[in-house]
Each structure stands twice: as structure tokens, then as C-alpha cells.
């Protein structure tokens, strides 16, 4: 059932407080060092002076003028951050205090707050097996709170997950390069082609959210399980050691395969879980990207 207005505002307020504290205590300044300045735009050409990087020489202008000219670039003054958040049926699952949807809302709040503090635009796409909601990129704290509210307020659905469809939609509506946070459990098929195309045009980061019970079954005897996206019911004997081991092996193989896909496409990813804080994983990703940029001399 959807949250009532009072409960919704309580959750939005809680996430605002939590994410503000996380920003101040753990990630202050990291967002800017990782994302600001990644995009550059051409400004002008000027005459070469000693000390300029010879790689910036504009050979066409140099040939016309008879002496060296270099291209001058400047940082783009703002970024566009898009949160593409899965709200399919499987996102409502949580075996503990938090569902995957709540983790997605908290992560969106943290990163969107970081973006707004740096004067960047934030936008949102909510999807299942269709586009449920699209909020074009906007600036300001009000935009952040609306993002969190929209993620939390969407009604539970039994719909599936069409990652390929939402990526095609994103590529149509967002022509200018953006930083895209794709937040999902990635329980979907046949989307690698679209993910590759999106990663060529945008800076894509994938946040995979899982629950411990999706990785390992407890020994709880006969249990009736329901697929949250199809509604199909299945009676499972979790007391079977063979079944539990097979389930664990399949989950581990699926996890490894998805990780390999991210690596093959050179996409950074976060591994988040409903039973643990995620700020350290975000910190790890920021540090990883910061070191990579330093290794490239600050250039993309």
C-alpha cells in the first residue's frame, strides 16, 4: 500500500536528516572532487606560450596563421545528474527493517543533496516495465526533496523490470551528457546493448541493491514464496541442504556475471544491501574515481 501523507513526510524528513549528516561527516567535498570538472567545453584558441601542453595545439589554426596556436578549454559550470530508479515489484522486498526501495530513496537523497550543494541540476526517472514518472533536471533543495518523495510515494506494483526500455527512454530525452545513477536490483534480461549505448554517451554509475535473503535461504522448513513481479506462488522446502546450496551458488553466479558486465562496459558500480549502511560503499566509489582521475592527470 502507498504511504499516507503524514508517514510519507516523516520518511522524507528522516532521509533529509540522515543524508545531511552523512554528507557532513563522511562525504563533504568528495562529490565535487569526483564529479566537478569532468566535462569540459571549448572556449577559444590563443597563441602558444612556453609551458603550454603541446597536445593542445590546434594544428589547423597553426597552419593558417604560420605560428602555434592552442585550444583553450574551460570546465562546464554545472552538471546534470539523473537518477534512474527501479520501482518494480521486487524493490518492495526487504527481510529486515528496510526494503530495497527505501535504500534507493536514501541513496538518491544523499547523492542529490551532494549535487544541489554544488549547484548541479538533478532529475529523476522512475521505471518498472514502463516509465512511471519523469522529472526533468532542476536545481535547488526543493528538487531534491521531491525526488525522495517521489521514490517513496510510488504505489507498490507487481510489474516487472524493463531496463532496456528505460535506457532507450533516457537516451531519447537526455541529449546532453549527464551523470546517470542507475539504481536497481538488476533482475532483468537483455539490456546490455542499451546499457553500452548509454555508457558511451553518459557517465553511468550502477547501484545494485540486494537483500540477504536473495543471496542465501535460511533453513525454515516448508515456505511459500511469492514472486513480487509476477505474483506466482511456489512451495519451497528450505530444509533441503541441496536446495539451499544450489540457491546460494546460482545467486553468486548471477552476482559475478553482472559484476563482469559492469567491468566489460567500464561502468563503476555500487553494491548495496538492505541490512547494512551504504555510506562506506559510496566513499569507496568516490575514492576509486578520484584516484583514477589523478592517474589521468585530471583529464577524462
User: How confident is the model over 128-150, as a mean pLDDT?
Assistant: 86
Of 18, 48, 75, which residue sits at a domain end? Answer: 75
Query: Does residue 254 fall inside a structural domain?
Result: no
Are 64 and 85 within one domain? no
Query: Does residue 25 fall inside a structural domain?
Result: yes
pLDDT of 22 strictly over 60: no
Are 147 and 291 within one domain? yes
d(CA 64, CA 74): 24
Query: Does residue 104 fall inside a structural domain?
Result: yes
Query: Does residue 300 fall inside a structural domain?
Result: no
C-alpha cell at 17: 536528516
Question: Is 85 in a helix, a strand, or coil?
Answer: strand
Q: Residue 283 maps to which CATH number?
A: 3.40.50.410
- Backbone phi and psi for residue 236, each to the nearest 5 degrees, phi listed first: -125, 135
- Residue 23 burial class via C-beta count within 10 angstroms: exposed 0-12, middle 13-18, buried 19 and up: buried
Of 23, 53, 75, which residue sits at a domain end? Answer: 75
- Using the Cα atoms of residue 113, residue 114, residue 119 and residue 124 in order, give the sign of their dihedral: negative
188-222, pLDDT tens digit by residue?
A: 999 999 999 999 999 999 999 999 999 999 888 88
Of 52, 75, 98, which residue sits at a domain end? Answer: 75
Query: Does residue 152 fall inside a structural domain?
Result: yes
User: How confident is the model over 44-58, as a mean pLDDT?
Assistant: 80
Query: Does residue 235 fall inside a structural domain?
Result: no
Q: Please give the model's pTM, rounded to 2 decimal places.
A: 0.78
Q: Domain range spanning residue 71? A: 40-75
Are 69 and 150 within one domain? no
User: Which position has the higher pLDDT, 99 or 12?
Assistant: 99
How many domains, the chain? 2
Confidence of residue 110 (pLDDT cuts 50, 70, 90): confident
Instruction: Find where cell 537483500 sits.
Output: 211
Are 62 and 159 within one domain? no
Are 64 and 171 within one domain? no
Share of the chain above pLDDT 70, in %: 79
DSSP 132-161: EEEEEEE-SHHHHHHHHHHHHHSPP-----
Query: Does residue 129 fall inside a structural domain?
Result: yes
Query: Does residue 247 fall inside a structural domain?
Result: no
Are 162 and 47 within one domain? no
In this structure, which long-range contacts are made by residues 246-249, counting pairs with CB atoms below 8 Å and at least 24 apart in sequence?
Answer: 247/216, 247/217, 248/215, 248/216, 248/217
Amino acid at each position: 500500500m502507498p504511504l499516507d501523507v503524514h508517514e510519507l513526510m516523516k520518511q522524507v524528513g528522516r532521509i533529509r536528516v540522515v543524508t545531511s549528516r552523512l554528507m557532513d561527516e563522511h562525504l563533504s567535498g568528495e562529490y565535487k572532487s569526483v564529479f566537478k570538472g569532468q566535462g569540459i567545453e571549448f572556449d577559444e584558441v590563443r597563441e602558444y606560450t612556453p609551458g603550454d601542453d603541446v597536445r593542445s595545439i590546434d594544428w589547423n589554426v597553426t597552419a593558417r596563421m604560420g605560428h602555434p596556436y592552442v585550444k583553450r578549454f574551460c570546465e562546464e559550470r554545472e552538471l546534470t545528474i539523473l537518477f534512474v530508479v527501479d520501482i518494480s515489484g521486487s524493490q518492495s522486498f526487504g527481510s529486515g527493517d528496510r526494503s530495497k526501495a527505501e535504500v534507493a530513496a536514501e541513496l538518491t537523497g544523499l547523492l542529490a543533496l551532494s549535487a544541489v550543494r554544488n549547484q548541479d541540476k538533478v532529475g529523476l526517472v522512475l521505471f518498472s516495465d514502463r516509465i512511471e514518472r519523469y522529472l526533468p533536471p532542476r536545481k535547488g533543495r526543493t528538487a531534491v526533496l521531491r525526488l525522495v518523495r517521489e521514490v517513496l510515494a510510488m504505489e507498490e506494483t507487481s510489474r516487472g523490470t524493463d531496463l532496456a526500455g528505460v535506457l532507450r527512454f533516457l537516451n531519447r530525452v537526455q541529449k546532453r551528457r549527464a551523470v546517470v545513477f542507475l539504481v536497481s536490483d538488476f533482475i532483468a534480461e537483455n539490456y546490455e546493448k542499451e546499457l553500452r549505448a548509454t555508457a558511451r554517451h553518459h557517465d553511468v554509475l550502477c547501484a545494485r541493491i540486494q537483500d540477504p535473503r536473495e543471496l542465501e535461504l535460511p533453513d525454515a522448513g516448508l515456505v511459500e514464496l511469492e514472486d513480487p513481479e509476477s505474483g506466482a506462488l511456489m512451495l519451497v522446502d528450505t530444509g533441503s541442504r541441496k536446495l539451499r546450496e544450489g540457491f546460494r551458488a546460482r545467486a553468486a553466479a548471477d552476482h559475478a556475471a553482472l559484476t563482469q558486465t559492469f567491468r566489460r562496459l567500464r561502468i563503476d558500480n555500487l553494491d548495496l544491501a538492505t541490512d547494512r549502511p551504504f555510506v562506506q560503499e559510496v566513499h569507496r566509489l568516490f575514492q576509486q574515481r578520484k584516484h583514477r582521475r589523478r592517474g589521468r592527470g585530471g583529464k577524462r
